[in-house]
Amino acid sequence: MFIGFDYGTANCSVAMMESDTPTLLPLEANNHYIPSTLCAPTRESVSEYLYRFMQVQPKDAQGEQALRRAINLNREEDIQLQLGDMQFGQQALDTYLDDPQEVYYVKSPKSFLGANGLQPMQLSFFEDLVCAMMKNIKTKAEHTTQQDIEQAVIGRPINFHGRGGEEANRQAEGILRHAATRAGFKQIEFQFEPVAAGLEYESTLSENKTVLVVDIGGGTTDCSLIEMGPSFSTMSDRSSSLLGHSGQRVGGNDLDIYLAFKQLMPLFGLGSKIGGSKINGSRSLSSAKNSDIEMPITQFWNPIAINNVVAQKDFYQASNFKALKLLQKEAQNPEKLARLLATYQHTLGYQIVRKAEEAKIGLSESDTHSLIIPVAKEILEVDIHHDEMVAAVQTPTLKMMELVTEVMKQATKQPDVIFMTGGSARSPFLRQALEAQLPNIPIVSGNYFGSVTAGLARWAQVVFS
């Protein structure tokens, strides 16, 4: 049996074909979409749990070495894994939010797969992360269908990582392929996510059209200009109908991060000044000299840059705690820096970004959204206005629109229609930005979350039937 598999940055989903119609399968209770999250007692628990409870063997000698190291570290920490200690999706998120310090939590590992400079042990670990998530999804899909699923078309972005080029793309696709093979898939094909979304839209066309597909997902934005319609739908090779491609690692996660940075991190000291300490009631000489110096921006960016391995490592490393305490000592607003220290101590970066995402979704329907943010023993309250959000996310929005410009430079013709898909495409301000970029071209949308998955299932029917 074959499926289309959307291993997404924000959510994962799979679909099978029934009577030439894609059907999404439930993956978490009755939900067809499972958040791309995982938690375990420790980082090292992932590899051991995959081997011990999911019956997945290491890929090679490097993987065996990583597994032995993980088991040894767990034993040194007296961690004895039990069935159910590794969790996925919403369950993983709920466990993390309940006590962030007690678990290892990762969101959107797909964001890291094309990162530069990954060492062999890191590559092996990311493969284990992806494999565990894929194995969980495959098992749930097989339980629903009561069939062995051995073939899959897996979606991939045009570019996994903006600066890594084709080498990064090969690295990321290699991790996905190895992980899927270890999870039990015997035949694996890949298809570009915007092309897959376009294939689902094509099923609705009664005449040929030139379609610009704009897929704004959680981690990437991809654009494809494609000839579509009855004359093309039966072709097993669509390369001649693809008129242009562009893609970059900028998506909904970036919108959330920029919104958190601009609107929430000032509560943690962003923009405040050094020079707040006093000696005998007056500022010290060193503080007076430094009173016009703002806090270092990286200390406020790194904790919320949840799609950047290096930034997260830099913020949460042990030596940074001393640096944060020194900043608090010298701060004009030490109470704000106390919140940043709490972010470090309680690993709150994911929670802050999640609050920003909540505001982004709320502002799709109203002009103002109120947030309540618990930090240590404090409850912070902040109102965010729609215009403030649009201003905060201007940088990633412009990057998304630049991809549209890039595709149109490759094109020999204008699109007849724009098909907008992906979870982040629901945001009205992104549609307005696209309308300004390409005026007088109608914009349509289908299932924002499911179009890619459905298209992957359609392509799986073509390549595996």
From first to last of its 465 residues, the chain has per-residue pLDDT tens of 999 999 999 899 999 999 989 999 999 989 999 999 999 999 999 999 999 999 999 988 888 988 999 999 999 989 999 999 999 999 999 998 888 878 999 988 998 898 888 888 889 999 999 999 999 999 999 999 999 999 999 999 988 865 668 899 999 999 999 999 999 999 999 999 999 999 999 999 999 999 999 999 988 899 999 999 999 988 888 888 999 999 988 999 999 999 999 999 999 999 999 874 443 334 443 444 455 788 999 999 999 999 887 899 899 999 999 999 999 999 999 999 999 999 999 999 999 999 999 999 999 899 999 999 999 899 999 999 999 999 999 999 999 999 999 999 998 899 999 999 998 888 999 999 999 999 999 999 988 889 999 999 999 999 998
Residue 173 neighbours by CB under 8 Å, 6+ apart: 156, 160, 190
For the chain, residues classed under CATH 3.30.420 are 2-185
CB hemisphere CA count around 2 (13 angstroms): 23
**Tokens 């959107």 appear where?**
108
CA distance 155 to 184: 17
What is the model's pLDDT at position 162?
A: 53
- The two three-digit tokens of residue 30, written as one number: 């009755």
What is the C-alpha radius of gyration for the chain, rounded to an integer number of angstroms? 23
Q: 3-class DSSP state for residue 226? A: strand
**Tokens 């969790």 appear where?**
87
Give, as one character, the DSSP assignment of residue 146: T
- The two three-digit tokens of residue 50, written as one number: 């995959």
Which own/partner contact pairs does 435-439 have at CB distance under 8 Å and 24+ positions apart? 437/401, 437/404, 437/405, 438/212, 438/404, 438/408
Angle at 5 between CA 70 and CA 199, to 5 degrees: 155
CA distance 376 to 282: 30
Q: 3-class DSSP state for residue 360? A: helix
What is the model's pLDDT at position 309?
A: 79
What is the model's pLDDT at position 401?
A: 96
Which bin fits 269, alpha (ψ -120 to 50), beta or left (φ > 0)?
A: left
What is the model's pLDDT at position 330?
A: 93
Instruction: Return the bridge partners of 23, or none.
Output: 16
> How much of the chain is in helix, strand and coil states, percent to nearest 5?
50, 20, 30
* CA 263 from centre of chain: 21
Residue 96 neighbours by CB under 8 Å, 6+ apart: 37, 39, 103, 105, 350
Determine the topology of domain 2-185 in CATH: Nucleotidyltransferase; domain 5 (3.30.420)
Q: 3-class DSSP state for residue 354? A: helix
Contact 292, 265 (CB under 8 A): no
CA distance 35 to 12: 6
Contact 149, 141 (CB under 8 A): yes
Instruction: Read off the pTM.
Output: 0.84
Residue 267 neighbours by CB under 8 Å, 6+ apart: 336, 339, 373, 380, 382
User: Exposed, middle or buried by CB within 10 Å (0-12, 13-18, 19+), for 303?
Assistant: buried
Nearest CA to 432 out of 465, 459, 400, 385 is that of 400
User: Exposed, middle or buried by CB within 10 Å (0-12, 13-18, 19+), for 234?
Assistant: exposed
CA distance 228 to 203: 9
What type of residue sits at position 217?
A: G
Strand bridging mode 209-216 / 2-7: unpaired
Which own/partner contact pairs does 372-378 have at CB distance under 8 Å and 24+ positions apart? 373/264, 373/267, 375/268, 375/339, 375/342, 375/343, 375/348, 376/338, 376/339, 376/342, 376/345, 376/346, 378/339
User: Exposed, middle or buried by CB within 10 Å (0-12, 13-18, 19+), for 318?
Assistant: exposed
DSSP, residue by residue, 173-223: HHHHHHHHHHHT-SEEEEEEHHHHHHHHHHTT-SS-EEEEEEEE-SS-EEE
- The two three-digit tokens of residue 195, written as one number: 């092309």
